[in-house]
């Protein structure tokens, strides 16, 4: 399968319940949830970044102008539920961390999400299966356009990293791609760099720029200090002003 960078609209429906869980095209379904703000998704196919059957269907319909339909069984998508992924955890473990679990709550366990199924006898039953496990999915897909410019392709590949690296800046200067961040990215982006050079042939060189963390400058504030003094004729209060150097660090 050839590699293609694309802008697409799609709507995802759970076949068993007909519940729409994602729709990027407002004209197709205005009431459906959209995790992308009703904007087209930017994807790459041919590198197994999407479900294999979905990529194959998109590849076969590159010239299709209208929506086409792709149905994925649970085996083609998130797999079937695994009983071993349902665990029982002592309630005291949650109490130690000041967490109050309740049925239906989705909690984070060190980067792994789990859904609370049941609480009883001092134990909490948690399901670590993917929420869409054992469900068939229907994708309605429409290809908007092919992404051909180098920077557009780079943006597709770095999209998964942008959420974690808030200050990431990316600039393409001729054949040199520059990553700028307060974080040292050279080691972390090793695989990404290789992928970019493979798929975006315009990029020949990658440079990493680590920006300095600026410390707050010292400021001088004027603080009014009230002092009490006694006059022969009457008690009065006079204000004196002092310069106080304040270090904001």
Cα–Cα distance, 44 to 219 (Å, whole number) = 50
Q: Residue 32's pLDDT is what?
A: 87
On whether the CB atoms of residues 170 and 158 are closer than 8 A, the answer is: yes
Beta bridge partners of 41: 8
Read off the pLDDT of residues 69-115 as tens digits, 9 standing for 90 and up: 999 999 999 999 999 999 999 999 999 999 999 999 999 988 899 99
Parts of the chain belonging to CATH 3.10.50.40: 1-79+134-148
Read off the pLDDT of residues 191-233 as tens digits, 9 standing for 90 and up: 999 999 999 999 999 999 998 766 666 655 555 555 444 454 4
Rounded to an integer, the average pLDDT of 9-37 is 91
Secondary structure (3-state) at 96? helix
Number of other CB atoms surrounding residue 71 within 10 Å: 14
Q: Give me the residue label for tokens 């943006």.
A: 155
Residues 1-79+134-148, CATH architecture: Roll (3.10)
Rounded to an integer, the average pLDDT of 150-176 is 92
Cα–Cα distance, 106 to 127 (Å, whole number) = 9
pLDDT exceeds cutoff 90 at 246? no
Q: Are strands 41-45 and 19-23 parallel, antiparallel or unpaired?
A: unpaired
Parts of the chain belonging to CATH 2.40.10.330: 83-127
Q: What is the DSSP string of 49-93?
A: SS-HHHHHHHHHTTT--S-EEEEE-GGGTT----GGGEEEEEHHH
Cα–Cα distance, 154 to 202 (Å, whole number) = 10
Q: Residue 35's pLDDT is what?
A: 83
Q: Residue 162's pLDDT is what?
A: 85
Q: Residue 92's pLDDT is what?
A: 94
Q: Residue 62's pLDDT is what?
A: 95
pLDDT exceeds cutoff 80 at 10? yes
Backbone dihedral angles phi then psi of residue 56, each to the nearest 5 degrees = -60, -40
Cα–Cα distance, 222 to 73 (Å, whole number) = 70
Cα–Cα distance, 228 to 212 (Å, whole number) = 48
* Class of residue 107 by CB neighbours under 10 A (exposed 0-12, middle 13-18, buried 19+): middle
Lowest-confidence segment of 14-28, 131-145, 215-229 by average pLDDT: 215-229
State pTM to two decimals.
0.76
The gap between the terminal CA atoms of the chain, to the nearest Å, is 56
Q: What is the percent of the chain with per-residue pLDDT over 90, rounded to a whole number?
A: 71
In the predicted model, what is the mean pLDDT of the chain? Answer: 87
Which residue, among 40, 79, 73, has the nearest Cα to 54 in the 3D structure? 73
Secondary structure (3-state) at 186? coil
The domain defined by 83-127 folds into Thrombin, subunit H (2.40.10)
Q: Give me the residue label for tokens 């990658």.
A: 206
Q: Residue 218's pLDDT is what?
A: 61
Rounded to an integer, the average pLDDT of 232-239 is 47
Read off the pLDDT of residues 38-76 as tens digits, 9 standing for 90 and up: 999 999 999 999 999 999 999 999 999 899 999 999 999
Higher per-residue confidence, 14 vs 37: 14
Higher per-residue confidence, 214 vs 128: 128
CA 195 from centroid of its chain's CA atoms:
20
Q: Residue 164's pLDDT is what?
A: 85
Residue 198 structure tokens? 């493979």
Residue 81 structure tokens? 């539920």
pLDDT exceeds cutoff 90 at 17? yes
pLDDT exceeds cutoff 70 at 29? yes
Q: Residue 213's pLDDT is what?
A: 67
- Residue-wise burial string across 15-25, b where 16 or more C-beta atoms lie within 10 A, e elsewhere: eeeeebbbbbb
On whether the CB atoms of residues 206 and 158 are closer than 8 A, the answer is: no
């Amino acid at each position: 399968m050839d590699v293609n960078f694309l802008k697409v609209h799609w709507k995802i429906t759970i076949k068993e319940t007909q519940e729409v869980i994602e729709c990027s095209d407002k004209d197709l379904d205005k009431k459906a949830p959209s995790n992308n703000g009703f904007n087209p998704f930017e994807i790459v196919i041919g590198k197994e970044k999407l479900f294999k059957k979905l990529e194959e269907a998109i590849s076969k319909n590159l010239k299709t102008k209208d929506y086409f339909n792709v149905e994925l069984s649970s085996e083609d998508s998130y797999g079937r539920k695994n009983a071993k992924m349902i665990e029982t955890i002592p309630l005291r473990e949650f109490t130690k961390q000041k967490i109050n679990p309740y049925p239906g709550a989705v909690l984070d366990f060190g980067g792994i999400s789990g859904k609370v199924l049941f609480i009883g006898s001092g134990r909490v039953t948690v399901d670590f299966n993917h929420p869409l496990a054992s469900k068939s999915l229907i994708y309605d897909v429409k290809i908007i356009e092919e992404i051909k410019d180098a920077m557009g392709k780079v943006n597709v590949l770095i999209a998964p990293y942008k959420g974690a690296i808030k200050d990431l800046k990316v600039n393409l200067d001729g054949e040199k791609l520059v990553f700028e961040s307060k974080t040292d990215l050279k080691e972390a982006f090793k695989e990404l760099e290789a992928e970019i050079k493979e798929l975006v042939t315009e990029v020949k060189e990658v440079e990493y720029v680590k920006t300095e963390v600026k410390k707050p400058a010292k400021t001088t504030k004027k603080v009014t200090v009230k002092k009490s003094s006694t006059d022969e004729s009457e008690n009065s209060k006079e204000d004196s002003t002092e310069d106080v150097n304040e270090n904001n660090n």
